[in-house]
Structure 1
Amino acid sequence: MPEVTSPLSSQNAVLAFFDVDNTLMRGASVYYLGKEAWRRGIIGWRDIARFAWHQFRFISVGENHKHMANARERALALIGGHSEKTLFALAEQIYERDILPNLWPETVALTQEHLAKGHEVWLITATPQLVAQVIAARLGLTGALGTRVEAKDGVLTGELDGHVLHGDEKATVAAELAERRGADLAECWAYSDSGNDIPLLSAVGNSVAVNADAKLRNHAKTMGWQILPLNRAGLTEARRRVKRQAKTVRKRGR
């Protein structure tokens, strides 16, 4: 499953990385994938009950590595044996029905601020790659980096293609992308709500804790990172910072 990329390339690119769950949107995107699979009869009541419990915990107390891992394992299992076209159709449907109404307008506005500066804006998330691609495409972003699911002859096996894009893996993938795009990480930006993304935030020169959990909030205070509350005042200050401090990139055709 290829990355979604912009038709333009740039010299001295600046990348802005945005986490998805509880950063760009309220809740866990993988839950909505399970919910749509239930609507279509792919999974049963017991499975959707587990997904619902995970969503409640995630919204209430934030990301827990064990619970997230269990949810992703169930998500992989439920899509095993189905075609990539089926997963794409699920992703399209959940965007319209579930993800769009739960997007944080403040964070979405920041993605557009970066685009206006000529930056590449990439979603970076543990959610399945195809789901992340749909969100990025609908929001007009540069592309998406997500967890890849193995497929053979267009049919999903239910196994990972590589690693879950989580924790240190996010930082590694972000650094690899920055190198390919000719970007200096010191000029790049990253936004996340989770302490599990401290490696990603530490890898860039401009780190923003959005709707942060306790672990990330404490670390951000220690490091002097910007802490962004999801309200009008916080958004105004964050946009001013991007306008004031972020490098403007002029793009040229390939």
Structure 2
Amino acid sequence: MATMQSGSQGTKAARTGAAIFDLDRTLLAGASGPIISDALRQVGLLSSSTSGIESVAFGIFNLIGETWPSMLISRQGARAARGWPVELVQEAAEIATSRLLQSVLPFALQEIEEHRAVGRKLVMATTTPADLIGPLAEALGFDDVVATRYATSSGHYDGTIDGEFVWGKGKARSVKLWAQDNRVDLDQSYAYSDSYYDVPLLSIVGNPRAVNPDPRMYAQATLRRWPIMHFDVPPGVPKFAGIEPQRLLLLLAQPQLFPWVRFGIEGVENLPSEGPAILVGNHRSYFDPLAISFLLARLGRPARFLGKKEVFDAPLVGDVVTALGGIRVDRGTGSDAPLRAAEDALAAGEMVALMPQGTIPRGPAFFNPELQGRWGAVRLAHATGAPIIPVGLWGTEQVWPRSSRFPDVTQVIRPPRVQITVGPAVELETGDADADTKLVMSAISALLPEESRSQRPPSQDDLARTYPGGVVPEDVEWASEHETDRRPGTD
């Protein structure tokens, strides 16, 4: 493609920034090698007898990243390719591209689009030979490739490298030269890599980013205060030993660790094991998010919870919620930012969880059999096409009512039962946010026990449990009307 060729065209143009991405363990979760090797075998350039050795080598690479010995072997690639027809290698590259595209991490694609939107040049900087990786860069819409180039003679590789071996300091030098030729200001540029050996590359740009860093890169990034990112989880979510915090916490969501509550869980088969989904439940208690976590533990996949800003602003707790991938909602502003963040998560194949009621209903509204919700979940579904999965929660208020600052952990003799029921995806019919929200709330209501659908006058004690601190307002009727007026809502 024309844009893939470096050169000095446009030297009179204003200097601009670039976004420079490493490939293996950065844009991709692991090595590109297995996919490329399979393609080379398909065109007859590699023997199947080497596949076992390669599997071990690539497995080590995926686990710990680049090592000096592995790169010494990689440097010999030009010699191993001596005599190969260039056309066959390019054919193999085309074969590999579709599989490589499927391996690009979801939040890497979003990062690429953000740079494209502000006009930065997109560059792939990789040790992988240019002929093998060019089609992938083109498919991703990159402007150029800085990669190792094998020298050719009469349409065949001659066993030598043309220019730099693009690795370590050689990669940094190659990117510097490319930037000079293309009038790119490296101080305005971004660079992304996982490898300690790319510290020289990240050191020459104004905005270095360590992505899925190997142990030594992690240490360097920490010492230099470089941002650390992971393209397989939302922005702001850290990982420890390759595992995100929410997955670790899901391991602790086991009934035996909570003897003061009994769980009944039904309908787990209605939860998709992969792909985007919007999980919606009724809101009765501060215990509801934990109940949902027990459900997710059964499924074995995390979800991104939308939560009110007060939780995110709380010392320590806010940092934990952010680390778990939570999406902050500032209810007073009416901002669409939370929905955009949720849309990004869904586009990346994540599951998003929210309570359409917004907050736990207070006073008589808590006992209203007709659930009223805000439009956020439906707007997300309309915008993304993700299915809405309803969840009915019952009994959580017996564990942690709104009137209490902490859950009641003393009920170990006769623990209350919390019922969690998952229904099939809601079929949205009208395209109208209000009408479809009513469908969603009806679907949730249908998952609750029969007693939830009967109107009964609450006692004073019942009312007290629905208010913070257990304080019932003097004018309950006025408070009830105010509560009804603010539900449902368009936000």
What does the per-residue CA deviation read over 1:35-69, in whole Å, with 9 as the maximum and x for residues that have no partner? Answer: 22223332223322222221111112211121133
SS in 2 for 1:212: coil
SS in 2 for 1:233: coil
* Residue segments in structure 2 that go unaligned for 5+ positions in a row: 238-321, 323-336, 338-491
Separation (CA, whole Å) in 2 of partners of 1:3 and 1:118: 14
Q: Which residue number corresponds to residue 71 of structure 2? A: 68
Q: Which residue number corresponds to residue 482 of structure 2? A: none
- The letter for the 1-side match of 2:41 is W
> Given the alignment of the two structures, is residue 84 of structure 1 paired with residue 86 of structure 2, yes or no?
yes
Displacement of 1:101: 2.1
Q: Which residue number corresponds to residue 53 of structure 2? A: 50
What are the residue-to-residue correspondences of 1:104-183 with 2, within 5 Å? 104-183=105-184
What are the residue-to-residue correspondences of 1:184-203 with 2, within 5 Å? 184-203=185-204
Change in CA separation of 1:156 and 1:3 when aligned onto 2, cut-off 3 Å? farther
Q: Which residue number corresponds to residue 206 of structure 1? A: 207
Larger Rg: 2
Q: Which residue number corresponds to residue 27 of structure 1? A: 30
Change in CA separation of 1:3 and 1:84 when aligned onto 2, cut-off 3 Å? farther
> Given the alignment of the two structures, is residue 41 of structure 1 paired with residue 35 of structure 2, yes or no?
no
Q: Following TM superposition, where does structure 1 have runs of at least 4 consecutive aligned residues deviating by more than 6 angstroms?
A: none
- The letter for the 2-side match of 1:225 is W
- The letter for the 1-side match of 2:133 is A
Number of paired residues?
Answer: 235
Displacement of 1:126: 0.1
Separation (CA, whole Å) in 2 of partners of 1:174 and 1:12: 15
Separation (CA, whole Å) in 1 of partners of 2:159 and 2:31: 20
TM-score (norm 1): 0.84
Q: Which has the higher contact order (CA 8 A, sep 6+)?
A: 1
CA contact (8 A) 1:191 1:201 kept: yes
TM-score (norm 2): 0.45
Identical pairs, percent: 28
Displacement of 1:78: 4.5
Displacement of 1:3: 7.3
Separation (CA, whole Å) in 2 of partners of 1:3 and 1:65: 33
Displacement of 1:183: 2.2
Change in CA separation of 1:2 and 1:70 when aligned onto 2, cut-off 3 Å? farther
* Residue segments in structure 1 that go unaligned for 5+ positions in a row: 241-254
- The letter for the 2-side match of 1:90 is A
SS in 2 for 1:121: strand
Cα RMSD (Å):
2.5
Change in CA separation of 1:3 and 1:172 when aligned onto 2, cut-off 3 Å? farther
What does the per-residue CA deviation read over 1:199-225, in whole Å, with 9 as the maximum and x for residues that have no partner? Answer: 000001100000111111111111111
Separation (CA, whole Å) in 1 of partners of 2:123 and 2:133: 10
Separation (CA, whole Å) in 1 of partners of 2:172 and 2:33: 21
SS in 1 for 2:210: strand
CA contact (8 A) 2:229 2:235 kept: no
Q: Where is the helix percentage greater, Structure 1 or Structure 2?
A: 1
CA contact (8 A) 1:43 1:78 kept: no
Separation (CA, whole Å) in 1 of partners of 2:206 and 2:100: 29
SS in 2 for 1:234: coil
CA contact (8 A) 1:42 1:78 kept: no
Displacement of 1:27: 2.1
Question: Which of 16, 19, 25 is matched with 1:16 structurally?
Answer: 19
Change in CA separation of 1:200 and 1:3 when aligned onto 2, cut-off 3 Å? farther
Instruction: Name whichever of 63-72 and 10-19 sits farther off.
Output: 63-72
Change in CA separation of 1:68 and 1:30 when aligned onto 2, cut-off 3 Å? farther
Change in CA separation of 1:192 and 1:163 when aligned onto 2, cut-off 3 Å? same
Separation (CA, whole Å) in 1 of partners of 2:117 and 2:2: 25
Displacement of 1:32: 2.5
Separation (CA, whole Å) in 1 of partners of 2:4 and 2:24: 19
